[in-house]
Structure formats: structure tokens, C-alpha cells
């Protein structure tokens, strides 16, 4: 299989994992964290960077699944989106794109 094909499959799996993480979060947040871990593992294995849409869904410090209003807060400052992780009490800064 070509590298591109492998990455495409990996991306599909990452998509599904984040979808599942979102679904489980309200009842089983620990499961959501496991899905994040799995998604990162897959991405690393095939040398793929996780799309920014998903990157903002977890904390880059403790890798907890983040849900605004539950365990995360979102602020916009200096053209950057800042996520505050209430699990590890750290900030995640993401450049703001239009």
C-alpha cells in the first residue's frame, strides 16, 4: 500500500475515534481520553499530523479530551484561541484562522 493510502485510512480512523470520544464524554470521560490516546498513536505510527479541527479537542499537556463548558474554557485573545484545560490547569494556544 502507498503511504498516502495508509494515511488516508489512518485519518478515517482518527475521525471515528474523535466522534466516539465526543459521544462518550458525558457518561464516560475516561473512555474519551482513551480514544484521544489511540488517535494520537495512529497518527504517530503513520507520521500524520492530527488535523487542527481535532487538535483543539484535546489538551496538548495532559491529552485529556476537552469539551468547552465541561472541562475546558475557551477565550479569544490576540488573534489566538486559548483553551484552558480544567484537568491539568494549563492553557493551550491555537493560532486563530479565518
Which residues in this chain contact Zn ion in the complex, by CB under 5 A? 59, 61-62, 85, 87-88
| Least gap, CB of 82 to Zn ion (angstroms) | 13
| Least gap, CB of 15 to Zn ion (angstroms) | 22
CA 5, CA 21: separation in Å to the nearest integer? 24
Minimum CB distance to Zn ion smaller for 10 or for 66: 66
Q: What is the three-state SS of 49-70?
A: CCCHHHHCCECCCCCCECCECC
- Widest distance between CA atoms in the chain: 44
Minimum CB distance to Zn ion smaller for 11 or for 72: 72
| Least gap, CB of 34 to Zn ion (angstroms) | 15
Minimum CB distance to Zn ion smaller for 10 or for 71: 71
CA 77, CA 53: separation in Å to the nearest integer? 19
Amino acid at each position: 500500500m502507498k503511504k498516502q493510502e495508509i494515511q488516508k485510512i489512518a485519518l478515517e480512523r482518527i475521525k471515528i475515534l474523535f466522534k466516539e470520544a465526543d459521544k462518550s464524554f458525558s457518561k464516560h470521560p475516561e473512555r474519551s481520553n482513551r480514544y484521544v490516546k489511540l488517535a494520537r498513536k495512529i497518527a504517530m505510527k503513520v507520521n500524520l499530523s492530527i488535523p487542527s479541527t481535532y487538535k483543539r479537542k484535546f489538551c496538548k499537556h495532559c491529552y485529556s479530551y476537552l469539551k468547552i463548558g465541561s472541562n475546558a474554557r475557551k477565550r479569544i485573545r490576540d488573534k489566538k484561541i486559548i483553551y484552558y484545560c480544567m484537568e491539568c490547569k494549563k492553557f493551550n494556544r491555537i493560532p486563530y484562522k479565518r
